[in-house]
Amino acid sequence: MLDGDNNVLALIPARGGSKGVRRKNLRMIGGKPLLEYTLTAAQRSELVDKTYVSSEDPEILELATSLGATQVQRPADLATDESSAIEVVQHFIEWLPEELRSQDPSIVYLQPTSPLRTSAHIDAALHRMVELTKTTLLSVTELTASPYKSFTIDESGQLQSLFDEKLSNCRRQDLPKTYIPNGAIYVFRISDFLKRGGFPSNGSVPFVMSDRESVDIDTEEDLHLVEQLLEQQHG
């Protein structure tokens, strides 16, 4: 629970299908299903009050229950490759009991594809958000290649600077640092989400994580990388 009586609800989206890695959320890494790393991180958080797993898959929902999370039965049409995270959160908000929904709880959205994000990260992020008296937060990692040096190709096949051409000639160290969401932690109140019509970003507190902590599993190669990092961590 955060300051006052604001409940903190961890929401883990975990559908059964996957493009890059078959049955990704149930794949074993370091002797555990991928989903378990995020579920454990949420449950070990000092500030998360309750953990929910949203899925259409019976096996995933059964695993979630066995690990102490609350099932959110997601309709199959919200668990396709075309389904968006916004739709998943909207369904969760509508699924919540009106009494809880009316309290405007904070939702901590935790994708299971970020298994190196721990309870310590979650708590540090939430403490930072409270310290800055904000209600929205986004975990990010620093970009090594500056977007200020980026180009588009126009209709005639010629390069055009995405920003001012002068910036493309600057030394990288002279340009502002830039960041990209790493998908590990999103925090917002229900009212923030509904007001923005999606995940708030502008004006949110940044929680900067390293490249190592930010590994997002999308391919078999990513799985092997995480296995290696976990071995190093526990070696």
Which tens digits make up the pLDDT trace of 13-51? 998 877 767 788 999 998 899 999 999 999 999 999 999
The one-character DSSP state at 123 is: H
Residue 2, pLDDT > 80, answer no
- Average pLDDT (126-139) is 96
Which residue segments constitute the domains of the chain, with CATH numbers given? 8-142+178-234 (3.90.550.10), 144-177 (no CATH)
Amino acid identity for residue 21 in this structure: V
Here the contacts of 98-104 (C-beta below 8 Å, separation 24 or greater) are 100/7, 101/190, 103/5, 103/6, 103/7, 104/6, 104/189, 104/190, 104/191
Amino acid identity for residue 69 in this structure: A
Residue 235, pLDDT > 60, answer no
Query: How far is C-alpha 215 from the geometric centre of its chain's CA atoms?
Result: 11
Residue 6, pLDDT > 60, answer yes
Residues 146-188: tens digit of each pLDDT: 999 999 999 999 999 999 989 888 888 889 999 999 999 999 9
The mean pLDDT of the chain is: 92
Classify residue 192 by burial, with Cβ atoms within 10 Å: 0-12, 13-18, 19+.
buried
Q: Cα separation of 66 and 106, whole Å?
A: 25
Contact 119, 213 (CB under 8 A): no
Q: Cα separation of 157 and 116, whole Å?
A: 41
pLDDT at 4: 60
122 confidence band (pLDDT: 50, 70, 90): very high
Amino acid identity for residue 57 in this structure: D
Is residue 104 left, alpha or beta, with left meaning phi > 0 and alpha meaning psi from -120 to 50? Answer: left
Longest dimension (CA), the chain: 58
Query: How far is C-alpha 171 from the geometric centre of its chain's CA atoms?
Result: 32
- Average pLDDT (75-84) is 86
Global pTM reads 0.92
- Average pLDDT (194-205) is 96
Closest to 123 (Cα-Cα) out of 67, 48, 211: 48
Q: What are phi and psi of 5, to 5 degrees?
A: -120, 30
Q: Which residue has the higher pLDDT, 231 or 53?
A: 53
